[in-house]
Amino acid sequence: MNDLSVLREWWPGAGRAWLSRLIDRVPSDCWLCDTRTRGGHLCPHCHQSVVRSRHSAANRCSRCCLRFAASRKCPDCAFLEPAFDHAIAAFDYEHPGDLLVGQFKMQHRFILSRPLGALLAGALHEHRAMLPTDPVVVPVPASRAALRQRGFNPAGLLGRHVAAALGWRYAPGTVRRIDGPAGVMAQKYLTRQARMRNVQGLFQCAAPVQGQHVVVVDDVMTTGSTLHAIAVVLKNAGAASVTGAVLARTPAHDRQQPA
């Protein structure tokens, strides 16, 4: 099964749809519980366990998709009004979904991009009422250091699967990352204020987006500083709207970094 999934990632475009249909018929093991399933996807039970988090919170920001405690205002939007219009997440960054993110990013299992991309495409389809009919999908570009370490860009693979599943145009070169000689410190090590400073001037728009509706894809969203910075760049270039599509959204109470 895994060999077929790897083959699909590099198959020419004309045969990729045929190969996808073939893979969907091949028996495989669930990534979380080893139950027999098909096509490299999660079993129905684990699928429901992962996506349950996006339906379980009464207090979730309609703008940035943050789950936060009752009787509080959204701490992220209170700190900085986001430049993006909406953010949609496949699930919250907590058990068991965080295990999938860890396998995907830290264990370099890039073939997980197919089932994870399907989860994100499902979330976007569920919220299709707030989305334009024909947006362009743009992944958050990875740093050179991250590409050397992993060998792939998680957001890029997710974005490609999302675009294919929903019939949207995929434009991976639209946003460019400008890394200096010393690189940029990874966001996960920084406080909220430091994250905002860290991404200032880090991105530029490298393709025309005038009047277009853009869906920016990323793997994990914590404070939204990266998505905000990219949305600023895209809107300054004339984008009509910017929606964030993230695999996992970190709940406010689960953050290890100071707010």
Q: Is the pLDDT of residue 107 over 60?
A: yes
Local confidence band at 6 (pLDDT 50, 70, 90 cut-offs): very low
Q: Is the pLDDT of residue 219 over 70?
A: yes
Q: What is the mean pLDDT of residues 220-228?
A: 93
For the CA atoms of 4, 8, 14, 18, the dihedral, rounded to the nearest 10 degrees, stands at 40
CA gap 143, 145 in Å, rounded: 5
CA gap 113, 135 in Å, rounded: 21
Pairing of strands 136-139, 169-170: parallel
Determine the pLDDT at residue 212.
98
* pTM of the entire predicted model: 0.85
Determine the pLDDT at residue 257.
40
Alpha carbon of 115 to those of 1, 171, 235, 240: distances in Å? 13, 21, 31, 30
Q: Is the pLDDT of residue 3 over 50?
A: no
The amino acid present at 158, given as its one-letter code, is: L
Q: For domain 60-254, give the fold.
A: Rossmann fold (3.40.50)
At residue 114, the 3 state secondary structure works out as helix
Determine the pLDDT at residue 4.
47
Determine the pLDDT at residue 16.
59
Determine the pLDDT at residue 71.
59
Give the residue among 43, 13, 10, 14 at the shortest CA–CA distance from 27: 43
Local confidence band at 259 (pLDDT 50, 70, 90 cut-offs): very low
Determine the pLDDT at residue 175.
98
Q: What is the mean pLDDT of residues 43-67?
A: 89
Determine the pLDDT at residue 80.
86
Q: Is the pLDDT of residue 252 over 50?
A: yes
Give the residue among 6, 160, 162, 127 at the shortest CA–CA distance from 55: 127
The residue among 118 and 201 whose pLDDT is bigger is 118
Q: Are 251 and 67 in contact (CB under 8 A)?
A: yes
Determine the pLDDT at residue 213.
98
Q: What is the mean pLDDT of residues 113-138?
A: 95
The residue among 5 and 90 whose pLDDT is bigger is 90
CA gap 154, 146 in Å, rounded: 10
The residue among 111 and 258 whose pLDDT is bigger is 111
pLDDT digits (tens, 9 = 90+) for 172-193: 999 999 976 444 555 555 565 6
Determine the pLDDT at residue 39.
84
